[in-house]
């Protein structure tokens, strides 16, 4: 198994992984998001990683920068999406690629990582609701219990909630 940075040429394989990972009503939306993330030019950059076995892509995760409305020295990213092909789920591949991404973000000094997902899954990485509550997304969340965060690099979370903006690909109410 190999984890590496995703390249634009990987997009068709990534979209195939998404197609097998998500229900029909979600996979088109997530597939479009993956395409938009691969085309996004931002500072700091989007960081996307894939998992390969025998040169076949079986997993994908993307981390996108977030931008705080207050003038602050906090640096943050959001994890979205995470996909593992249906034939390779429940084998620890998602855990490995998320841990790889967290390690990469920690190396470059990021302070906070946010995710909007299943608390039962993401809490295993240290994500929690208290950190999530410190950061206010632009859109109302359909499932507020799924808004989680993790502190990186011994960062002290703010006392008052801070609003932030996402890159264009994530600025869609249907994703929230």
The per-residue pLDDT for range 26-62, each reduced to its tens digit, is: 999 999 999 999 999 999 999 999 999 999 999 999 9
Can you give the pLDDT at residue 160? 82
Q: Is the bond preceding residue 44 a cis peptide, omega within 30 degrees?
A: yes
pLDDT at 73: 84
Count CB neighbours of 30 within 10 A.
Answer: 21
Amino acid 108: pLDDT = 97
CA 147, distance to chain mean position in Å, is 12
Could you list the pLDDT tens digit for every one of the 176 residues in the chain?
999 999 999 999 999 999 999 999 899 999 999 999 999 999 999 999 999 999 999 999 999 999 998 767 889 999 999 999 999 999 999 999 999 999 999 999 999 999 999 999 999 999 999 999 999 999 999 999 999 999 999 888 777 889 999 999 999 999 99
Output the pLDDT for position 39: 94
For residue 51, the model assigns a pLDDT of: 98
pLDDT at 25: 85
Q: Within 10 Å of residue 63's Cβ, how many Cβ atoms?
A: 26
163 alpha carbon, distance to own chain's centre: 18
pLDDT of res. 147: 97
Structural domains in the chain plus CATH codes: 2-175 (3.40.630.30)
Spatial distance between the Cα atoms of 20 and 50, rounded to a whole number of angstroms: 15
Helices 11-21 and 24-39 cross at an angle (nearest 10°) of 150
User: What was the pLDDT predicted at 69?
Assistant: 83
> Maximum CA pair distance of the chain?
48
Strands 147-151 and 162-166: unpaired
pLDDT at 100: 98
Which residues make beta-bridge pairs with 40? none
Contact 19, 27 (CB under 8 A): yes
What is the reported pLDDT for 66?
A: 96
Q: Which residues pair with 129 in a beta bridge?
A: none
Q: Give the model's pLDDT for residue 158.
A: 77
Burial of 120 (0-12, 13-18, 19+ CB in 10 A): exposed
Burial class of residue 55 (count of CB atoms within 10 Å of its CB; 0-12, 13-18, 19+): exposed
How high is the pLDDT of residue 72? Answer: 75
Three-state secondary structure call for residue 44: coil
Tokens of 101: 């991404």
């Amino acid at each position: 198994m190999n984890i590496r940075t995703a390249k634009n040429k990987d997009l068709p394989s990534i979209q195939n992984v998404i197609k097998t990972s998500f229900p029909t009503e979600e996979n088109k939306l997530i597939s479009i998001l993956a395409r938009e993330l691969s085309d996004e030019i931002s500072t700091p950059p989007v960081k996307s990683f894939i998992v390969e076995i025998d040169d076949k892509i079986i997993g994908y995760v993307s981390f996108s920068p977030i931008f705080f409305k207050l003038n602050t020295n906090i640096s943050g990213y959001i994890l979205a999406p995470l996909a593992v092909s249906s034939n390779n789920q429940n084998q620890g591949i998602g855990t490995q690629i998320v841990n790889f991404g967290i390690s990469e973000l920690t190396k470059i000094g990021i302070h906070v990582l946010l995710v909007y997902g299943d608390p039962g899954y993401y809490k295993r990485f240290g994500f929690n609701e208290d950190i999530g509550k410190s950061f206010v997304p632009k859109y109302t969340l359909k499932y507020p219990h799924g808004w989680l965060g993790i502190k990186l690099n011994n960062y002290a979370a703010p006392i008052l909630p801070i609003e932030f903006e996402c890159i264009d690909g994530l600025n869609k109410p249907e994703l929230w």
